[in-house]
């Protein structure tokens, strides 16, 4: 349907049909008044297709003058009920019924009492009015369902896009945690080879073996990340009991780390244990990148049903300009938040960088 009315083909079909019925009525009654009323009524039908009120009232009034206007008047009732608000449709229907009431009074139908005539006209107008109202309600329902389906499809598309974005963010965070830590360790070993080319061959061989082992460990940890993302076996993923081993790797690479582990053997949820491991891993990685050669102090304890991780290291006066700096802390804050905890990081008045995380847990 166009904004101003029905399609032109439908309008033409309706006009031709009403015109044919009006012409048939003129075969029985063809006085000058009837011919004039019939012509005006058919014109009103065409107008009613685009202006239901203006075009609907005219045939109803003309029906009071001639029965030739009856097809146009009854058609106007259906058109108004189909396309206009209920109040406007009622006005058109009552106008048409009133016109037929006047017609039946001064031009009675042969062999039919006026009361029966009025009753038949009332039933016919009520049926057309009800049919039009039902058609309008059905049309609006179909439009509503179509719009709802479009909105549901758009909402589904938005959720798919958000899910994909969340998946990419998760993958990026996991890759950063694994690769940044492992590659920073390898960089320390490679730096030792670069600045000590005069080292004994057995020391160079040992360092090369450590680098090779570190690469294999990085690949193993990447496989663990993929297992987590695929919701596979999580038993092999690093957790809180693996923190001492993580610290030992850093110490073996030349980093000075003091670990105060006060919650060994504590019963913590698996997600909390994995998050705690990642916090310590990221803290060690940041210390190697931004405070190389400075000692790192790590304290883990249970305090009031919460696992507290406190990591500190002195800061250097001249920090290197590293691209991507801060991305790990952003991802770490999101990870801790998903585990139900909080993470804070700041430079203290004593010139230390402090990373503090609190995670909900149960002590064993």
Parallel, antiparallel or unpaired: strands 296-303 and 257-261: parallel
Same domain? 12 vs 133: yes
pLDDT greater than 90 at residue 251: no
Question: Considering the domain boundaries, does residue 75 fall inside one?
Answer: yes
Q: What is the DSSP letter of 68?
A: G
Average pLDDT (191-203) is 70
Could you give the dihedral angle defined by the CA atoms of residues 290, 296, 297 and 300, in that order, rounded to the nearest 10 degrees?
Answer: 70
Q: How far apart are CA 18 and CA 42, in angstroms?
A: 7
3 found inside a domain = no
Q: Is residue 204 part of a domain?
A: no
Q: Examine residue 191 and state whether it is found in any structural domain, yes or no.
A: no
Measured over all CA atoms, what is the biggest interatomic distance in the chain, rounded to whole angstroms?
Answer: 130
Q: Which of 150, 168, 183 is the last residue of a domain?
A: 150
Number of domains in the chain: 2
Q: Is 109 helix (H, G, I), strand (E, B) or coil?
A: coil
Tokens for 191? 């730096």
Q: Which two tokens stand for residue 340?
A: 């139900």
How many angstroms separate the CA atoms of 95 and 60, rounded?
Answer: 5
* Angstrom distance (rounded) from CA 223 to CA 176: 14
Q: Give the residue from 241, 247, 246, 364 showing the smallest Cα distance to 302.
A: 364
Q: Can you read off the two tokens belonging to residue 225? A: 């990340």
Q: What is the pLDDT of residues 37-90, one digit of tens each?
A: 666 766 666 666 667 676 667 777 777 777 777 777 777 888 888 888 888 888
Q: Which two tokens stand for residue 362?
A: 């149960």
Q: What is the pLDDT of residues 274-290, one digit of tens each?
A: 888 888 988 888 888 78
Q: Tell me, yes or no, whether 166 lies in a domain.
A: no
Q: Sheet of 352-360: strands edge to edge? A: 257-261, 296-303, 306-314, 352-360, 342-347
Say yes or no: 143 and 246 in one domain: no
* Per-residue model confidence (pLDDT) at position 15: 59
pTM beyond 0.75, yes or no: no
Q: 142 and 14 in one domain?
A: yes
Q: Which of 94, 123, 150 is the last residue of a domain?
A: 150
- Shared domain for 254 and 140, answered yes or no, is no
Q: Determine the pLDDT at residue 349.
A: 84
The predicted model gives 187-195 an average pLDDT of: 68
Cα-trace Rg, the chain: 43
Indicate the pLDDT class of residue 308, thresholds 50, 70 and 90: very high
Residue 113: CB atoms within 10 A of its CB come to 11
The residue range of the domain holding 305 is 240-364
Cα separation of 339 and 284, whole Å?
A: 21
CA–CA distance, 338 with 361 (Å, rounded to integer): 14
Residues above pLDDT 90, as percent of the chain: 10
Query: Which tens digit of pLDDT belongs to each residue from 125-144?
Result: 899 899 889 988 998 999 89
Instruction: Looking at the structure, tell me whether residues 15 and 143 fall in a common domain.
Output: yes
> Where does residue 303 rank: exposed (0-12), middle (13-18), buried (19+ CB within 10 A)?
exposed
- SS3 string, 257-284, reads EEEEECCCCCCCCHHHHHHHHHHHHHHH
Characterise 317 by phi-psi region: left (phi > 0), alpha (psi -120 to 50), beta (else). Answer: alpha
**Does some domain include residue 42?**
yes
* Residue 155 is assigned to a structural domain of this protein: no
Share of the chain above pLDDT 70, in %: 66
Under the banding of pLDDT at 50, 70 and 90, the label for residue 298 is very high
Using CA atoms, how far apart are residues 74 and 97, in angstroms rounded to an integer?
9
Structure tokens given for 256: 């000075």
Q: Point out the domain boundary residue: 150, 171, 203.
A: 150
CA distance 350 to 18: 96
User: Which pLDDT score is estimated for 7?
Assistant: 53
Q: Residues 45, 76: contact at Cβ < 8 Å? A: yes
Element containing residue 151 per DSSP (H, E): helix 114-195
The average confidence (pLDDT) of the chain is: 76
The pLDDT of residue 250 is above 80: yes
Q: Are residues 262 and 146 in the same domain?
A: no
Instruction: Clarify whether residues 139 and 246 are in a common domain.
Output: no
Coil, strand or helix: which one is 63?
coil
Q: Give strand pairing partners of 301.
A: 308
Residue 245 sits in a domain of what CATH number?
3.30.565.10
259-268: burial string, b at 16+ Cβ within 10 Å, e else: bebebeebeb
* Residue 296 parent element (H or E): strand 296-303
Q: 3-class SS at 360? A: strand
108 secondary structure, DSSP code: P
* Residues 135 and 251 placed together within one structural domain of the fold: no
- Let me know: does 305 contact 270? Beta carbons within 8 Å: no
- The verdict on residue 170 lying in a domain is no
With bands split at pLDDT 50, 70 and 90, how would you rate the model's confidence at 362? low
- More confident: 117 or 260: 260
């Amino acid at each position: 349907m166009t904004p101003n009315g029905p399609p032109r083909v439908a309008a033409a079909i309706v006009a031709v049909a009403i015109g044919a019925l009006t012409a048939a009525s003129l075969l029985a009654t063809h006085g000058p008044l009837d011919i004039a009323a019939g012509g005006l009524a058919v014109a009103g039908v065409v107008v009613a297709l685009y202006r239901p009120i203006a075009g609907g009232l005219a045939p109803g009034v003309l029906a009071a003058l001639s029965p030739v206007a009856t097809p146009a008047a009854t058609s106007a009732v259906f058109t108004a009920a189909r396309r206009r608000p209920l109040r406007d449709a009622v006005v058109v229907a009552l106008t048409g019924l009133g016109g037929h009431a006047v017609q039946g009074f001064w031009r009675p139908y042969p062999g039919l009492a006026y009361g029966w005539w009025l009753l038949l006209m009332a039933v016919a107008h009520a049926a057309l009015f009800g049919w039009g109202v039902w058609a309008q309600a059905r049309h609006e329902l179909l439009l509503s369902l179509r719009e709802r389906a479009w909105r549901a499809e758009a909402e589904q598309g938005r959720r798919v896009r958000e899910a994909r974005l969340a998946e990419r963010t998760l993958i990026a965070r996991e890759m950063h945690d694994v690769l940044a830590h492992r590659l920073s360790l390898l960089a320390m070993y490679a730096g030792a080879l670069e600045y000590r080319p005069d080292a004994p061959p057995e020391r160079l061989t040992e360092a090369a073996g450590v680098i090779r082992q570190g690469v294999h460990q990085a690949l193993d940890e990447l496989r663990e990340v993929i297992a987590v993302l695929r919701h596979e076996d999580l038993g092999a993923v690093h957790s809180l009991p693996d923190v001492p081993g993580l610290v030992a790797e850093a110490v073996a690479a030349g980093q000075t780390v003091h670990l105060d582990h006060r919650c060994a053997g504590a019963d913590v949820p698996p997600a909390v244990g994995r998050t705690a491991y990642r916090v310590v891993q990221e803290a060690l990685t940041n210390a190697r990148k931004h405070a190389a050669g400075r000692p790192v102090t790590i304290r883990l304890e249970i305090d009031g049903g919460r696992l507290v991780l406190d990591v500190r290291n002195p800061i250097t006066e001249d920090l290197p300009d590293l691209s991507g700096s801060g991305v790990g802390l952003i991802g770490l804050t999101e990870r801790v938040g998903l585990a139900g905890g909080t993470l804070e990081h700041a430079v203290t008045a004593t010139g230390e960088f402090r990373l503090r995380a609190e995670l909900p847990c149960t002590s064993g």
